Amino acid sequence: MYKLGSPDAFIEQILDHIKSVKTVGSLDLGEINPADIKFQSRSEYYRYVGSLTIPPCTEGVIWTILKEARTASKEQILALREAVHDGMMEIHSKSYMKFVFTFIFTFLLFLSISLPTTFASPVENEVEDESHFTYKELNGKGPKNWGRLNSTWKACGNGKLQSPIDLLNERVQIFPTLGKLKRGYKPAPAILKNRGHDIAVEWKGDAGKLVINNTDYELKQCHWHSPSEHTLNNTRYKQELHIVHQNSEGGIAVIGILYKLGRPDTFIDQILHHIKAVGAIGEIDLGEIDPKDIKFGSRKYYRYLGSLTVPPCTEGVIWTILKKVRTVSKEQIHALREAVHDGFEENARPTQWKHGRPVYLYRPKAV
């Protein structure tokens, strides 16, 4: 953000070009160092998930707004406004002293270095070869070292938007305007796959979608972790199901369901005999599976911005964790644990620091 004042040093470098670009259309600037864009405050900033501010207004954009406003001169503001096409200017000469100029940079690389974050990428980027990492710390490949094991996994060690986290009731913000979850699931062909570190149901056809902020996220797969990865008020449960969705831009949205010991889960029961067999086979054709058979049981949920919970720990994932804890039987937990490769019977990443991230709770308004 910029207020009227001293000239901005970065704009000053290219001011002559800005003044002439309207008639030319584009100019070769030669080599430009994005480090010349000065950040007045590196430690204090706002972060939220939003959209592009021009059409197509694509959502899922991670916004970082520096808290402290810098300064731009009247000449620089006028040059930028004059350079755009007619009809795109809104110049009010008497209001310059009140004018706050917002400069939106497209130097995403520079932002990613200065304020570290890794953007969500396709679901297929989850590591499926588990030989390179484990959940046990004794062998040097455990969660504390994931960020050092591969140059593309650095977010696991230094990311600020990592998952899972603890969902502490007194620290969440109640946000009824989030609205109820909009799911449009439908039956589709699926396979059961032993990925070594977990067991997954992968849909091979159109299994429907989840809609968040008017953006469609197609259902891709679901998989189980035991014990749970997310915790509620520091309580870790017996199991957690992740239902993974992806939008057309590669953005990821995951629904998490926590389970305690009790009655059998009806969805797992449908495929339990396949789960018991997939450990030896690796992959089983399930035929048509209806994702609506995954029971939610509550409209209340937590929402926050996080990451994949396995390497490469990609950030920018929109997490929705159902508030209601459902039940799973001892036989079902045992079957899922027995099916994975040795050493992955417990496949839960420890909870990560929130780093000031807000966590929202959707609770329907009382009628």
The angle at the Cα of 7, spanning 4 to 12, to the nearest 5 degrees, equals 135
d(CA 113, CA 111): 5
| CB within 8 Å of 187: residues ≥ 6 apart | 207, 288, 289, 290, 291, 292
Q: CA 113, 118, 124, 126 torsion: positive or negative?
A: positive
Q: CA 36, 119, 124, 340 torsion: positive or negative?
A: positive
Q: Which amino acid, one-letter code, is at 237?
A: Y
CA 326 to chain centre: 24
Catalytic residue among 92, 197, 223, 230: 197
197 is catalytic: yes
Q: Which residues of 60-92 are buried (b: 16+ CB within 10 A; e: fewer)?
A: bbbeeebeeebebbeebbebbeebeeeeeeeee
Q: Cite the active site residues.
A: 197
